[in-house]
Structure 1
């Protein structure tokens, strides 16, 4: 069956088809007793020296990708310097004239990450360099937005978001394995539809905000709180889809290079979880 996830649908093995061996794939098994002959244009034809993708290789690539995100975030945090000033009453506030570099890092990281996420999602042959470039851009964005949130809402929000992200990943993985959760077509379609609906509402609210008519989905009020909770729940379900897609790829015997695609998909979801938790804790800190 074909995946609805744009990150994984570019690789046949993530969609229930099996790679025949370590050399050039002569056939792809469709699971129905039929085969599809590989052509010279197959993205796997020239990967004869590769081993197969394993859970260990996915873990290694994901760890490397997240490491790049972390390093880029820390560098961004340090390089942007002190952006805080004090008002006449001795209260700290973010000085816009000093925070230009911080805002630039957030904007460049967000735009770069968005563009590279689209490229990586729809690229037929996964590119490790582009996955790392995506991680670097997201690190730039996360480092900047985390610093801004800490200055505005207190140090607890960043620490809480980091701990919460780790807990969400570990808890979801444990539930997925120990309760033997099965990802059905109906569940997959429902989660994918919810994801696109959520993104659509966020973008709509952002566009309306440019005209002074924002609904409040991206704000810090009640609607913002609801959207953060909904976004977090969707991200947890997406994480389950990611685990399922990785299992399919390993079972299909995909080339080891496809571990980068799996790492990219997991990184996208974990960053989404972190951002939703950061917003959720920021909103709660104001109540």
Structure 2
């Protein structure tokens, strides 16, 4: 179960994971908790948007705070199964606010007429999720050890490139970062964004398989929160990349 998503990779390392005299994890429990987290994210995101609209000067501060809080929440929930329920909810609250604010910023950047890119991003993300779930459930995609190794290696390669570009940007004034990620007129930027989306989509199959393994191995029911959080992290990542892709297309069209 080792892979990029830290929520899943930490489960294997925890000696207290097995449910001996406690209720064990179930797919139903994972599904319900995942729905709950997304419900919390959407609800708080709408509430946060209304608050931000009455205080426009707080937009960027709220966005940065929400993203930072979400990052910390994932780390804590990954390390402690006891705290996973609380910090999973904190992550949902923070990411709900962050994604709504980020979506509004993207929409405003391209004018109110293009606000439908947000709705389209939601629809595409949902289609990717259910499409990959169908492929996994029907065994059209089988998660093998070789597939896991490939995805893990590819993920580390992506991370290495991002870190290298970040360091290089300190010395070249951000030219490399702009060339690879910021120049919306560059075919390379469009290609890389598509690669990131495909990577996120195929990572979902690993998460589905990990969720199945966690249930089959009889892990404690509390780990449902960690699995649900891991799924949410991946879906949020795909949504952001899809939104970015649509923004790039809109910019090229203009």
- TMscore range, shorter length: 0.7 to 0.9
Equivalent position to 2:199, from 234, 238, 241: 234
Equivalent position to 2:220, from 247, 252, 255: 255
Question: Secondary structure in 1 aligned to 2:93?
Answer: helix
Equivalent position to 2:16, from 20, 39, 43: 43
Match in the other structure for 2:246: 281
1:130 maps onto 2:87 in alignment: yes
Structure holding more helix per residue: 2
Match in the other structure for 1:266: 231
Equivalent position to 2:155, from 184, 189, 195: 195
Structure with max Cα Rg = 1
Match in the other structure for 1:162: 122
Match in the other structure for 1:11: 11
Kindly state the Cα deviation for residue 258 of structure 1 after the two structures are TM-superposed: 1.0
1:140 maps onto 2:97 in alignment: yes
Kindly state the Cα deviation for residue 112 of structure 1 after the two structures are TM-superposed: 1.4
Kindly state the Cα deviation for residue 233 of structure 1 after the two structures are TM-superposed: 0.6
Residues 106-127 of structure 1: CA deviation (Å, up to 9, x unaligned)? 1111111122222333446562
Pick closer, same or farther for the CA change 1:118–1:62 going to 2, 3 Å: same
CA contact (8 A) 2:11 2:17 kept: no
Pick closer, same or farther for the CA change 1:147–1:166 going to 2, 3 Å: same
Kindly state the Cα deviation for residue 197 of structure 1 after the two structures are TM-superposed: 2.6
Pick closer, same or farther for the CA change 1:286–1:178 going to 2, 3 Å: same
CA contact (8 A) 1:206 1:218 kept: no
Most deviating of 129-138 and 239-248: 129-138
Question: Secondary structure in 2 aligned to 1:256?
Answer: coil
- TM-score relative to the length of structure 1: 0.77
Kindly state the Cα deviation for residue 242 of structure 1 after the two structures are TM-superposed: 0.2
1:213 maps onto 2:186 in alignment: no
Pick closer, same or farther for the CA change 1:125–1:200 going to 2, 3 Å: farther
Pick closer, same or farther for the CA change 1:206–1:140 going to 2, 3 Å: farther
Match in the other structure for 1:25: none
Structure holding more strand per residue: 1
Larger RCO: 1 or 2 (CA < 8 Å, sep 6+): 2
Q: Give RMSD over aligned pairs.
A: 2.4
Pick closer, same or farther for the CA change 1:172–1:46 going to 2, 3 Å: closer
Kindly state the Cα deviation for residue 7 of structure 1 after the two structures are TM-superposed: 1.5
1:79 maps onto 2:47 in alignment: no
d(CA) in 2 for partners of 1:114, 1:203: 17
d(CA) in 2 for partners of 1:170, 1:157: 20
CA contact (8 A) 1:10 1:123 kept: no
Residue-pair matches, total: 243
Pick closer, same or farther for the CA change 1:213–1:164 going to 2, 3 Å: same
**Gaps (5+ residues) in structure 2?**
none
Question: Secondary structure in 1 aligned to 2:134?
Answer: helix
